[in-house]
Every structure is written in C-alpha cells, then in structure tokens.
Amino acid sequence: MAVPPNPSHNDRLPIKTVAAAAWFRQTSGNFQSARTESMKSVPKQQLPDFLRGLPKAELHIHIEGSLEPELIFALAQRNGVTLPYDSVEALRAAYAFSDLQSFLDIYYAGASVLLHEADFFDMAWAYFLRAQADNVIHAELFFDPQTHTARGVAFDTVINGLRRACEKAEAELGIHAGLILCFLRHLSEAEAFETLAQARPHLGKFIGVGLDSSERGHPPEKFARVFADARALGLRVVAHAGEEGPPEYIWSALDVLKAERIDHGVQAVNDPMLMQRLAAERIPLTVCPLSNVKLCVFKDMKDHSLRQLLDAGLVVTINSDDPAYFGGYINQNFLETFAALDLDASHAVTLARNSFEASFVDEAQKRRYFDTLDAYCA
Ligand code: ADE
Ligand code: ZN
C-alpha cells in the first residue's frame, strides 16, 4: 500500500526533527558557519584543485558499476567467458543510454565475467585505487549478490572477495570501507528473502541493506517485510528512490522501509512537503550527477536539481554511482557539477561534511573525519 505524501502520517517527525537539529548544532560547532563561509574566498581558478584534494566519503557506488571495459575483457579472458563485443572500444561505444533500464541491461551483462573470489577482489581493489586518487577516505560500497547467485556463483564467493579488498584498502590505503547488500527490486520478495537467508552467516561482513535496479513499477512497499527482517538483524537501511520514480517512492522508502538515507532522491524537488521533511530530519541524499545526466534524468548538467536541494538545506552528497559507465569517478562528478551549477568552495566543504555526517560510522569516527576536513580547510 502506498503511503500518501503527508507528513502528518509520520508520528516520528517532531522527535526525529528535534534530535537531528540538536545533533547538527552540537557537532557543527563554529565549523559550519565560520570556516565554510570563509571558503567562499577560494579563487575560482583554484577550485578544481580544491575539489580534487578535498577529503570525502563516497556513499553511493555500485561496485559492479566500477568494472572498466578493460577489466571486463581481462576477466572474460581469464574465465573463458565470451562477450557479445569484439573489443574494449566496441563495448565502450555501447555505453549510450536512454534511461535506467537501457543501462541496467548492459550493466548486468558486464557483471557476467565475475565468477571467482579473486574476480570480486580485483574489481573492488581497482575501485579503491581510483578512490584513493580522488581523496576518498571513507567508502560504503553497494553490491548486488542476486546478479551473481542467479548465475551459480555462491554468495560466499562474492562477499569474501569484496571483504578482502575492503580489508586491504583499510590496511594499505587508509580508506575505511563497508559493504551494503542491495536487493534487486525487479525480482520478487521471495527472492529477496532467500538472499537475506544466504547473507545471515555473513552478518559481520556487511553493514546494511539497500534497494536498487529498475525503479518504476517496483515501489519500496514490495520489500517492506524483507527490510523489517533486515532491521531486526541490526542492519542499516538505505534505498534508491526518486531517481526516475516519483516522490511518493521517497515517502514510502522513509515510512515503510525506514530508510536512513535516500539514494538519488533528486525528484524530491517536485514535492515541497517532502523537501521540508528531508531538511528538517537531516535525511541524506546520495546524489550522482553524472549518472543522472547519462541516464537522461536531466537533459543537461545545468538542469540538475542538486543546487536547489543544497540551497534548501538538505544533506546532499555527491557520488559516482557506476563510474565505469557514466564518464567518471567521484572527483569528475564534483568538477562537472561545480562548473555547471556555479558552486564555490563553501559548497564543496558542505558536501564533504555532509558525506561524513551521512556515513554509517560511530560519532567518534565522524568527529575524526570532521577534524580531517577542518585541517584541509585551515
Ligand atoms: N544499479 C546500478 N546502478 C543503478 C542505478 N543508478 N539505479 C538503480 N539501480 C542501479
Ligand atoms: Zn545507484
């Protein structure tokens, strides 16, 4: 059942709003007002370097979407998988998308080269090296187990390869990393339950659950019971909503799934009440600007709603989604968004700070991240 877009529906709102605002005041100190404002004086020509060097968290990256064509071909050769493309160039040339589904068809085909634990490790390690180059110091990675278990790859193979890469990233690159298991929303509730059962012996290896794949026609309500079970297991909860789908899906991701962050959420601008709620409760949006342009959610980066969301006080973050398919990693997203929307260094600091605030780490770790950001701005 769809939850109507009416905040009076949500009896948690006042308590959560007060708590969110109090937390924000307490942890922000003078940083937000004084330091952020002073950043406006960073000259425009220095902005690209400032963005590149900014310490940041990436919270919306599908690890299967980081598979570069070169790695797809290398893994295909290693595993004896035949691809329907003759060359890296031919595969890259196919990356012209008209909407989310046209991308997903190619994305799932690309993932077919992943068979062994080493393949999952290599894919994630390649991402971490790129992330380090972009000054990502914290990353929460989505993975899609159903894409692999449907092909006969064991859940253990997937998660053990990814986990090993996370541990190496922490030890050797200083990147703190977590995994978020995504249920494919075009599949059934029963299949999601089966995946959660496969994941149960591995509870210490991932931090939360999410919901991705084809959004239209697959509202969050379809997975209400699966997410209730995941929450009962102590898992954190996020969901893709309002990427192509309507603001109503954001309401139900919050009210039915109890999502703590909304992935994309860019359609919220079409619902003023929702905007008010997201700002008041400080519910983060993990926005992926290059993805939105490549999947024709916005015709041009200049039309992107990110600045409206930011100006309305929402906890917006910038992320890469599927960087191998959409023309760039997180820094490229920052660079193109800032150029198109005329943002300055004060916005950059707010976005980086938001990314740490929105991350699933404890308060002590958040403070360390804020201190790192503060030192960068000093
Ligand atoms: N899976 C990978 N990328 C996705 C996106 N942008 N939206 C929904 N599901 C996805
Ligand atoms: Zn996504």
Spell out the residues 6+ positions from residue 166 whose beta carbon is closer than 8 angstroms to its own: 124, 141, 177, 178, 179
Q: What is the pLDDT along the chain (378 residues), one digit of tens a residue?
A: 333 343 333 444 446 666 766 666 666 554 556 677 788 888 899 999 999 999 999 999 999 999 999 999 999 999 999 999 999 999 999 999 999 999 999 999 999 999 999 999 999 999 999 999 999 999 999 999 999 999 999 999 999 999 999 999 999 999 999 999 999 999 999 999 999 999 999 999 999 999 999 999 999 999 999 999 999 999 999 999 999 999 999 999 999 999 999 999 999 999 999 999 999 999 999 999 999 999 999 999 999 999 999 999 999 999 999 999 999 999 999 999 999 999 999 999 999 999 999 999 999 999 999 999 999 999
Q: Is 321 in the pocket of ligand 1 (CB under 6 A)?
A: yes
Residues 322/141, Cβ–Cβ less than 8 Å = no
Say which of 58, 64, 243, 357 is annotated catalytic: 243
Spacing, Cα 332 to ligand 1 middle (Å): 18
Residue nearest to atom 1 of ligand 1 (CA): 213
Residue whose pair of structure tokens reads 């406006």 in the numeric block: 40
Q: Is 240 in the pocket of ligand 1 (CB under 6 A)?
A: yes
Kindly report the pTM of this predicted structure.
0.93
CA–CA gap between residue 283 and residue 224 (Å, rounded): 19
E runs forming strands in the chain: 56-62, 136-143, 176-184, 208-212, 236-241, 261-264, 285-287, 316-318
Residue nearest to atom 4 of ligand 1 (CA): 213
Query: Under CATH, which number does the domain 7-377 receive?
Result: 3.20.20.140
Q: Is 263 in the pocket of ligand 1 (CB under 6 A)?
A: no
**Whether 243 is catalytic:** yes
